[in-house]
Amino acid sequence: MPREKTQAKPETPKASWFWLKNSSGEPSMSVTFLTISFLVTTFGYVASMFEQIGPLQVRPFDASACGTYFIPLLTLYFGRRWTDAKFSQAENEK
């Protein structure tokens, strides 16, 4: 009796537990990075309201440095959403 060849399904790696989920409910690196950059930028802004916190001396808020950190990640996030929407719409039209 000949054996049937079974095709093994390619394994898709499981996302790590620390990725936040996007609006589709899937783990998303861009959402996670955007959230972290938002929190870091917000913390820097709030901390800069004080000259000194305990023994720690705080620098003045640098909007250009925070923008350099935050804007590319914001662009990544919205670029990903636009790409996903574009290609999912193209698949629905078929």
More confident residue, 69 or 55: 55
Q: What is the mean pLDDT of residues 18-41?
A: 84
Q: What is the DSSP letter of 26?
A: S
For the ranges 9-13, 24-28, 34-38, 60-64, which has the lowest average pLDDT? 9-13
**DSSP label at residue 25:** S
Domain residue extents for the chain:
27-93
pLDDT, one tens digit per residue, over 44-56 is: 889 999 988 899 8
The pair of structure tokens assigned to 45 is: 């802004």
CB 59 within 8 A of CB 48: yes
pLDDT bracket for residue 7 (50, 70, 90): low
Q: What is the pLDDT of residues 11-20, one digit of tens each?
A: 666 667 678 8
Rounded to an integer, what distance in angstroms lies between the CA atom of residue 77 and that of residue 25?
A: 15
In sequence order, what are the residues at sequence separation of 6 or more whose Cβ sits closer than 8 angstroms to the Cβ of residue 74?
34, 37
